[in-house]
Amino acid sequence: TQLLEQSPQFLSIQEGENLTVYCNSSSVFSSLQWYRQEPGEGPVLLVTVVTGGEVKKLKRLTFQFGDARKDSSLHITAAQPGDTGLYLCAGVFFLRQFYFGTGTSLTVIP
Amino acid sequence: DTGVSQDPRHKITKRGQNVTFRCDPISEHNRLYWYRQTLGQGPEFLTYFQNEAQLEKSRLLSDRFSAERPKGSFSTLEIQRTEQGDSAMYLCASSLRPGTGAGANVLTFGAGSRLTVL
């Protein structure tokens, strides 16, 4: 069992649609990160959120850290085929441990 | 620096054989992590090093798995008496120790070593 549960596990949408991915845990983290992974490659960091309630925007991606620092969401506006990939949240414990979520596989259809 | 390198990229072996994977981290990174990932799932933590010291090892890691980082640079992950359930992607990542720069607390991953046990 993994410490962080992501939902949905799979998502297939049309280009231009909006979507939200959720990352939930019963544990409190010192910070939370989101990564994206493409087939045959390792995950690549998208963002780190540190403060409860924090919202960060990266172009069409909006990341939010829950007030209690136990959960997070990723919202993509007007999805594009280039957004296709496996999205992973990772909870950081005390600046030493990175525990990854179960993953959300996103496919954006042109 | 060319990033994190892993070798081999693919390994096919028969059940019961031993396999070893190598990871070369970014040279100035003093932390090194090993993860295991199955298709479509998130990486599962195995172990991590700070310099040559192995600081934490997952309780899920059986005695058949061993990792070393003898000089605080490259690391090896050995799996003895492989089983079909060991088939997975083995990912290595490195980072700076917290407080040592802007790259601290950011994992840089290699492309992984895919193991298939027949």
The residues, any chain, with a CB within 8 Å of residue B63's CB and separated by 6 or more, are none
CB contact under 8 A, A95 and B98: yes
Q: How confident is the model at residue B97 (pLDDT cuts 50, 70, 90)?
A: confident
**pLDDT for the residue B106:** 87
Residue A1 has pLDDT above 70, yes or no: no
Q: Are B77 and A7 in contact (CB under 8 A)?
A: no
pLDDT on residue A106 = 97
Interface of B with A in 99-118 (CB under 8 A): 104-107, 109-112
pLDDT confidence tier of residue B103, bands split at 50, 70 and 90 = low
Shortest distance between the Cα of A90 and any Cα of chain B, in A, equals 9
Residue numbers in A near B112 (CB within 8 A): 40-42
Average pLDDT over residues B48-54: 93
Within 8 A by CB and 6+ apart from B16, the residues are: B81, B82
Closest partner CB to A101 (pick from B42, B91, B105): B42
Convert the pLDDT of each residue in A44-102 to its tens digit: 999 999 889 999 999 999 999 999 999 999 999 999 999 999 999 999 877 677 899 99
pLDDT of residue B91 exceeding 90: yes
Quote the mean pLDDT of chain B. 91
Give the residue from chain B lying closest to A89, CA to CA.
B42
Peptide bond into A8 cis (omega under 30): yes
First to last CA, chain B: 36
pLDDT at B4: 96
More confident site: B92 or A92: B92
Query: By CA distance, what is B50's nearest residue in A?
Result: A96
Residue pair A76/A64 in contact (Cβ under 8 Å)? The answer is no
Q: Please determine, for residue B112, whether its predicted confidence score (pLDDT) is greater than 70.
A: yes
Residue B104 pLDDT greater than 80, yes or no: no
pLDDT tens digits along B26-46: 998 989 999 999 988 999 999
B33 vs B100, more confident: B33
Cα of A105 to nearest chain B Cα, Å:
7
